[in-house]
Amino acid sequence: MKSDLIQKYDMRVPRYTSYPTSPQFDEQVDGAVYKRWLGELNPKTELSLYFHIPFCAEMCSFCGCYTKIVKRYDPVAEYMNALLAEIDLVADALPSNMGERMTAKHLHWGGGSPTMLKGEDWMAIMDKLRSRFDVADNAEIAVELDPRTASEEYIAQLEKAGVNRASIGVQSYRAKVQEAINRIQPYEITAKVIEWLRAHSINHINMDLMYGLPHQTVDEMEDMVDKTVELQPNRIALFGYAHVPWMKSHQKLINEDDLPGTQERWDQFTVAGNRLVEKGYVKIGFDHFAHPDDSMAHAIESSELHRNFQGYTTDTAPAMLAFGASAIGYLPQGYVQNQLPLKAYSQSVYSGVLPTAKGIPINDDDKTRREVIERIMCDLEVDLSAVAKEFGGNVEGLEKDLEKLTPLIEDGICAIDGDKLKVLEDGRPFIRLVASAFDAYLKTSEGRHSKAV
Ligand code: SF4
């Protein structure tokens, strides 16, 4: 890819883990609306459940998540109680499936560090969930795990709680980079934790690598990939560091002079991505790679890959119920986001009101655009006419959006054949830009997103 294109398209665009994106959420969706939406669900709807644990032992200076640093367990224990109460509130609002509980097929724990929870609390929360939902025998139960704080005993507790997938943050193996991001995590620790996970039947392993961090260089990329591949993860994410100190004040600890420039970021991404492909991993969208035997690689073949707040996913559930402060969920009617700060969240739960702070209902135009954006982000191609028809419209309704693609078509990033739009292989890293042409809200939220490359 020519360097002038990299400079030309060095823009901030959403990651499209939802559409409309979260800056569009507002207070029109509150606890009462969410309660009504829950009650309107078909009781046979398959559910996905997300739990947000917003605590960490130490702040990594690159972090883009909402989390709080705690030195004592009390705030975590208090939060756990609020979470248990929220599970009851939500379950009480769901329709009854002829007296049966609704089925949950995917459970995901994110944060923060979910592994801040004590082992016995995992059991308590899983017992509660199993009493209020029918957790499918083959449900995926995934946890984001901080290897720096995990022990073998702890992993044994996760196994007992039914966890079968773990996502491990790695970022970089270089000591200089780890120091600059305040996250010291020697390779041996990561390798040991993965060994324990497998010994305890947690065989689905995701690893998160990064490029664009302070002091990262193109030279370290192949070594970073080789070390990672030795550990045989099923999925690998290759995230670009998003430097947004005006939104995440702890990122001010990162010296901007130590950050690679746009061309350097591009080269790091290209070298790491090419190496992953050489090692046999399948490209997924713009920042994921999957082992050819992994369900995500199969989902690409059958066009069943999706995007949600966790990024690329094989989760097909039409409803994700999200628990915990700031957690975002979706229902067929729209998106909902919980209260923040923690105090407002727990006060709402304890007063018996669903702690929804904001959200957005979605109409047929949103659904059309969401499907177009999701297919571009996942399949790199979309039949615009078929999608428009599915939601009662026609392709003419997207004509203005197609006009915005003219420069990208001229630059060989995407192509149009009849009503079909295709992102070309060279344009893969720019798929967020292609998708953004169909975002009817983008003008109002530009400054809040990360760079396209
Ligand atoms: S452990 Fe994860 S969530 Fe916590 S501060 Fe570090 S990057 Fe952020």
Give the distance (Å) from ligand 1 centre to CA of residue 112. 5
Return d(Cα 386, Cα 371) in angstroms, integer: 10
pLDDT (0 to 100) of residue 10: 78
Return d(Cα 93, Cα 441) in angstroms, integer: 31
Pocket probe for ligand 1: among 55, 56, 241, the residue whose CB has the most ligand atoms within 8 Å is 56
pLDDT (0 to 100) of residue 444: 47
Is omega for the bond preceding 95 within 30 degrees of 0, making it cis? no
At 206, list the tokens.
């995701």
| Ligand 1 contacts CB of residue 402 (under 6 A) | no
The values of phi and psi at residue 183, to 5°, are: -145, 90
State which ligand 1 atom lies nearest to the alpha carbon of 67: 3
Pairing of strands 288-290, 235-240: antiparallel
CA distances to 103, 249, 336, 345, 449 from 321, in Å: 12, 30, 9, 16, 25
pLDDT (0 to 100) of residue 235: 98
Write the single-letter amino acid at 169: G
Which ranges of the chain have pLDDT less than 70?
A: 1-3, 97, 444-453
At 13, list the tokens.
């665009």
| Ligand 1 contacts CB of residue 116 (under 6 A) | no
**How is residue 241 annotated by DSSP?**
P
| Ligand 1 contacts CB of residue 65 (under 6 A) | yes
Which residue's alpha carbon is nearest to atom 2 within ligand 1? Answer: 112
Helix (H, G, I), strand (E, B) or coil at 319: strand
Residue 316 in contact with residue 304, Cβ under 8 Å?
A: yes
Helix (H, G, I), strand (E, B) or coil at 336: strand
Domains and CATH numbers, the chain: 1-11+363-453 (1.10.10.920), 21-322 (3.80.30.20)
Whole-angstrom Cα Rg for the chain: 22
Return d(Cα 60, Cα 70) in angstroms, integer: 13
Which residue's alpha carbon is nearest to atom 3 within ligand 1? Answer: 112
pLDDT (0 to 100) of residue 339: 97
143 Cβ contact partners less than 8 Å away, ≥ 6 residues apart: 108, 109, 114, 115, 158, 163, 165, 166, 167
pLDDT (0 to 100) of residue 51: 97
Residue 237 in contact with residue 311, Cβ under 8 Å?
A: yes
Write the single-letter amino acid at 160: K
State which ligand 1 atom lies nearest to the alpha carbon of 183: 6
| Ligand 1 contacts CB of residue 167 (under 6 A) | no
Residue 33 in contact with residue 20, Cβ under 8 Å?
A: no
What is the tens place of the pLDDT at every residue in 382-405? 999 999 999 999 999 999 999 999
CA quadruple 118, 123, 129, 135: dihedral sign: positive
Return d(Cα 264, Cα 254) in angstroms, integer: 17
Mean of pLDDT over the chain? 94
Beta strands in 196-346 (DSSP E): 204-211, 235-240, 282-284, 288-290, 306-308, 311-313, 319-323, 328-331, 334-338
